[in-house]
Structure 1
Amino acid sequence: MKSRLLPAAVMLAVSTPVFAHCGGAFCTLNTNWDTQGVWDKPGVRIDLRAEYIDLDQLREGTHKTGPAGVVDTHDEVRTLNRNFIGTLDYSFSPEWGVSLRVPLMNRYHNHIFNNAAGPESETWRFTEIGDIQAVARYAFYQGMNDTAGVRFGLKLPTGSISQSNGSEKAERSLQPGTGSTDGVLGLYYNRREGAANWFVQGTWQQVIHERDDFRPGRQLALDAGVSYAATPDWSLMLQVNAQHKSRDSGANAEAEDSGGRYVFLTPGVSYKASKDIQVYGFIQKPIYQDVNGVQLTADWSAAMGVSMQF
């Protein structure tokens, strides 16, 4: 049963979503399978995931809005994120494990600067490694059909904070990295019920060392998900992902237009390609978005990937 439930566990314990007015973003879906209690042997796992997030809708609070056109300010137009995320996981035992998560970002951003002489379009494009995350886990309770554990680690300042379009640096919230070292702490619980598997999880992320006068806001993520093994090879999945992010701060932050509260509904499906290989896909749809100030948001996003164990 565990091998059939394996693809249904695709849910990230320590995702690093970035919500900012310019639109740098990751999907908030959960794809760390270890927290779901479906791996029952030590070893190495590799997960490769691609994300598509097109932020092209300005939002103020909970409502869609349009560009303000105020002279000497800029209006966001679009940020297209194509993220590629590799995760290397090693389980020392059923209780202990570590994972290393490396994001590669392909990002396009466009906004309009409202010059007194007329609007001026400004664009940035880059493909860069983002902030790497190193996390350990410990399952402090393991029952016949359920598991509870803790995850703890760091988000490291490996991503660039100096990308430019040749004449002007991108805003800090658009950069591949935040420049900060963040602490990550999470708790999870999962349970198997016949052909179904469900989980709940909370994760807290906070800056412990900032750089260049930019401090990303604190993040709290709450995830719940269920999966069902419809056949020996196919599994159906559904997640609810909630996020709260406080405002960024510092001289290089745009505090008024950062942070917010979000809830996403995330259905998915996975297929067991072989004994040790699973492929999966998700569509993520926001069902509640309340942003601070004016920010770019997406009407939907998508993710697909493959997970292998050795």
Structure 2
Amino acid sequence: MRILLTFLILGIFISQGIAQTCCSGGVPLSNNLGLPNDGKGVLVVGLNYDYNNLNTLNAGTVKLDDSSRQRVTNSVLLNVGYSFTDKFAIETLLTWVNQSRTITQFGNQNFTETSGVGDAVILFKYSIPAFLGNRIVLNLGVGAKLPLGDSDILSDQGIQLTADLQPGSGAWDGLVWASASKSLNFRPSTTVSGSITYRFTGVNNAYLNNEATYEFGDEIQANIGFSDQLLVLNTIINPGIVFKYRKAFGDRIDNQEIPNTGGQWVFLRPEITVQLSSSLAINSRLELPIYSDVEGTQLTPTLRFSTGISFKLPNKKKVLIN
């Protein structure tokens, strides 16, 4: 029975593979990690809105002339970070997600939408200041993705929706994260930074009402960017530009690899942060794909936009100097 079910589901994925998105439409968990460690006792909170539109159909690296399918993900992300010491900190990411899929064919439109609490992340971080130089800071982190979101939502017809439309994954994942930054000697206000995240995905053992298992492919994300600090009308502004590389491995159902999942992408991300005060900032960024190479035929990201606000509560204890 399980073998028959597996081949039936694989057949659905093959026949409708261009509706699959290799988890590109899901909650941007790894994409929103890395709150700064601002010293012992400092609490940092960030609230962001993330919009991700997938309306580009690719076969490998070739863009197809087909706009009949669209995926949109709207996410609300709450980051909370606390520094226990100047080196050791913890960060959590809580999510709410709304996902929709629209298929237009022969004058008919099929619309599917889900909403709910998404998965969460907890990350333990360690900072190494003056790493290989006075102006280099290295941060290391390990953590996990917690399956808080629903992964068994049904369609209006009472059929369980596929994994890529569920708010949660139904599986525990492992995370390894590292970042480094260096301010330039000739212009200390300019910073070069980079980060890398590897997500080891777990298995949802209760997929399709406990009839199958599902595993999203492991994922690698790497970023390298430049930012500067400018004073405009007595306000500190930090413009920046980031190049992002993402590779997702293919998904698996009952340990069988699913066609039309997995791929690699390169994105260009201009961003800007406005420091309203020493403890309050607003940020915005636009993410545009400049290279896409997907397995088989898939919807691939068209554009992503996010904006939010962050504030920090410093340690109230003050050191008195005579």
Category of TM-score, reference length = shorter chain: 0.7 to 0.9
Residue type matched to 1:77 in 2?
Answer: R
In the alignment, is residue 188 of structure 1 matched against residue 191 of structure 2? no
Contact 2:35 2:91 in 1 (8 A): no
The separation in 2 between residues aligned to 1:289 and 1:209, in whole angstroms, is 27
Give the superposition deviation at 1:120. 6.3
In the alignment, is residue 288 of structure 1 matched against residue 291 of structure 2? yes
- From 135, 140, 144, the equivalent of 1:154 is 144
Residue type matched to 1:215 in 2?
Answer: E
Contact 1:261 1:290 in 2 (8 A): yes
- 1:96 corresponds to: 88
Alignment partner of 1:160: what SS? coil
Contact 1:20 1:296 in 2 (8 A): yes
- From 189, 192, 201, the equivalent of 1:198 is 192
Question: What whole-Å deviation, never above 9, does each CA across 1:65-105 have from its counterpart, x for those lacking one?
Answer: 256xxxxxxx9711111111111111101110111101111
The separation in 2 between residues aligned to 1:86 and 1:45, in whole angstroms, is 11
Say if 1:262 and 1:82 are closer, same or farther in 2 by CA, change over 3 A. Answer: same
Alignment partner of 1:214: what SS? strand
The separation in 1 between residues aligned to 2:256 and 2:230, in whole angstroms, is 47
In the alignment, is residue 57 of structure 1 matched against residue 56 of structure 2? yes
Q: TM-score normalized by structure 2?
A: 0.79
Residue type matched to 2:79 in 1?
Answer: T
Say if 1:41 and 1:233 are closer, same or farther in 2 by CA, change over 3 A. Answer: farther
- In the alignment, structure 2 segments of 5+ residues that lack a partner are 1-19, 207-212, 314-322
Say if 1:23 and 1:100 are closer, same or farther in 2 by CA, change over 3 A. Answer: closer
Say if 1:40 and 1:226 are closer, same or farther in 2 by CA, change over 3 A. Answer: farther
Q: For 1:261-280, list aligned pairs within 5 A.
A: 261-280=264-283
Contact 2:201 2:215 in 1 (8 A): yes
- 1:170 corresponds to: 161
- 1:47 corresponds to: 46
The separation in 2 between residues aligned to 1:76 and 1:22, in whole angstroms, is 19
Alignment partner of 2:164: what SS? helix
- 1:301 corresponds to: 304
- From 97, 105, 121, the equivalent of 1:105 is 97
In the alignment, is residue 210 of structure 1 matched against residue 198 of structure 2? no
Q: TM-score normalized by structure 1?
A: 0.82
Question: What whole-Å deviation, never above 9, does each CA across 1:27-76 have from its counterpart, x for those lacking one?
Answer: 57555232xx6x24431110111111121221111112256xxxxxxx97
- In the alignment, structure 1 segments of 5+ residues that lack a partner are 1-18, 68-74
The separation in 1 between residues aligned to 2:150 and 2:32, in whole angstroms, is 25
- From 111, 117, 123, the equivalent of 1:129 is 117
Say if 1:169 and 1:162 are closer, same or farther in 2 by CA, change over 3 A. Answer: same
The separation in 2 between residues aligned to 1:135 and 1:211, in whole angstroms, is 24
Contact 1:217 1:249 in 2 (8 A): yes
Alignment partner of 1:50: what SS? strand
Larger radius of gyration: 2
In the alignment, is residue 80 of structure 1 matched against residue 83 of structure 2? no
Contact 2:190 2:228 in 1 (8 A): yes
Question: What whole-Å deviation, never above 9, does each CA across 1:139-167 have from its counterpart, x for those lacking one?
Answer: 24545322112110000111111123311
Say if 1:174 and 1:105 are closer, same or farther in 2 by CA, change over 3 A. Answer: same
Worse overlay, 205-214 or 180-189? 205-214
Alignment partner of 2:259: what SS? helix
Q: CA RMSD in A?
A: 2.5
Alignment partner of 2:152: what SS? coil
- 1:236 corresponds to: 239
Contact 1:217 1:247 in 2 (8 A): yes
Give the superposition deviation at 1:301. 1.4
Give the superposition deviation at 1:209. 4.4
- 2:316 corresponds to: none
The separation in 1 between residues aligned to 2:255 and 2:84, in whole angstroms, is 42
Question: What whole-Å deviation, never above 9, does each CA across 1:112-159 have from its counterpart, x for those lacking one?
Answer: 68xxxx886432212211111111001245453221121100001111
Identity, in percent, stands at 20
Residue type matched to 1:33 in 2?
Answer: L
Residue type matched to 2:216 in 1?
Answer: P
The separation in 2 between residues aligned to 1:190 and 1:22, in whole angstroms, is 29
